[in-house]
Amino acid sequence: MYSSRCNLLLSLTILTAITVRAQVTERFISHATYLSSDKLEGRGPGTSGSILAAEYIQSKFREIGLEIPFESGYFQEFLQSESGVTERNVVGILRALSSTEKSVVFTAHFDAYGIAEEGGAEDIIYNGARDNAIGVAALIELARMYVNSGRQNQNLVFVATAAEEDGLVGSRYYTQHPVFALEEITIVANIDGFNVSGPRDDFFVMPRQGVDFVDDIVAEAGRRGWTYSPPDWIDTMNTNFDTAAFLLLGVPAFTLWTGNSIPEGVHITEPEFGSIHSPEDEINDTWDWSGVEAQLDLYKSITDYFLTDPGIISVQDPELFRKE
């Protein structure tokens, strides 16, 4: 009797866990679908599509229960000096258990290339699905995971950055106007692209030069069963991500991607991706979302590690991240 009740309880627990995980993926897909829809017209900086995207992210931050960081709300507005348009980062926070300036910052850019100026082609909307609607979907769901886990010993800041494609404009603005002191940022976890190729068990991070915390990330991921397999090209991309805005100022930051290794016994069909920075960067039926939650868990386990580990990490060569 006892053991059969135990079995029933165990089955119910597993079923509940599976259902909760399925809900995460459902929500992730729904964020990505809305943000990359034609309605948002490619989320070009200064456009109504960009405002719709910011409003969507704000509504999710509010729904999740992230706290408002500014008197004006979740929006951190700024004037883009070159184009003269007003843009906004969307920022939500989860304050630490006790008063501190220390923070872990999560970033994902929500802008894309807008609408192509030259007509003629049938599809002129740069939907920016992989780059980076899915990264924003991950940011929103990571925020939810942390709110559900409760307050931490450091502040958590979730920043959906604007105008990354224009030269890291939103992330640079955040470094000049951080919610908690820049020198007290433990690490920035940036999300640019996410795994929509099905289950994977390897990963890589950027940067892997000029910083001293890659080994920590590799070790923590290893404890979770992930294999580190860095491709050769990644070192050439150091200045192309929002991380560069922070790294240049000596603030530890990383972006993490999954690799191409498929777990043993798993069979998948490779999805077809349209190239990024083109109107082909759209969601299609071949995308496999079944690896999303595992990558969310990986991001969270790494930021959990940096929230609890007292060791000092640093950027040894900030100049490596200056755009020529």
Q: Which residues lie near Zn ion (CB under 5 A)?
A: 131-132, 192
Could you please report the per-residue DSSP string of 252-308? Answer: -EEEEEE-SPPPTT---PPPP-PPSSSTT----TT-BGGGHHHHHHHHHHHHHHHHH
Residue pair 182/251 in contact by the 8 Å Cβ criterion: yes
In the complex, the smallest distance separating the C-beta of residue 135 from Zn ion, rounded to whole angstroms, is 7
Residue 11 tokens read as: 């089955």
Buried b (16+ CB within 10 A) or exposed e, 193-207: bbbbbbbbbbbbbbb
Between CA 77 and CA 116 the distance in angstroms is: 25
Q: Which residues contact residue 313 at a Cβ distance below 8 angstroms, ignoring those fewer than 6 apart?
A: 186, 187, 211, 212, 213, 216, 252, 306
160: three-class secondary structure by DSSP? strand
Residue pair 114/42 in contact by the 8 Å Cβ criterion: yes
Q: Which is nearer to Zn ion, 80 or 132 (CB)?
A: 132
Residue pair 25/293 in contact by the 8 Å Cβ criterion: yes
Q: Which is nearer to Zn ion, 127 or 132 (CB)?
A: 132
In the complex, the smallest distance separating the C-beta of residue 155 from Zn ion, rounded to whole angstroms, is 25
Q: Which is nearer to Zn ion, 28 or 110 (CB)?
A: 110
Cross-strand partners of 155: 103
Q: Which is nearer to Zn ion, 218 or 292 (CB)?
A: 292
In the complex, the smallest distance separating the C-beta of residue 14 from Zn ion, rounded to whole angstroms, is 36
Residue pair 135/192 in contact by the 8 Å Cβ criterion: yes
Q: Which is nearer to Zn ion, 155 or 239 (CB)?
A: 239
Between CA 211 and CA 141 the distance in angstroms is: 28
Q: Which is nearer to Zn ion, 180 or 194 (CB)?
A: 194
Between CA 63 and CA 50 the distance in angstroms is: 20
Q: How far apart are the first and last CA of the chain?
A: 71
Q: Which is nearer to Zn ion, 96 or 108 (CB)?
A: 108
In the complex, the smallest distance separating the C-beta of residue 134 from Zn ion, rounded to whole angstroms, is 10
In the complex, the smallest distance separating the C-beta of residue 165 from Zn ion, rounded to whole angstroms, is 7
In the complex, the smallest distance separating the C-beta of residue 302 from Zn ion, rounded to whole angstroms, is 20
In the complex, the smallest distance separating the C-beta of residue 104 from Zn ion, rounded to whole angstroms, is 21
Closest CA to 54 of 75, 33, 32: 75
In the complex, the smallest distance separating the C-beta of residue 271 from Zn ion, rounded to whole angstroms, is 18
Q: Which is nearer to Zn ion, 78 or 126 (CB)?
A: 126
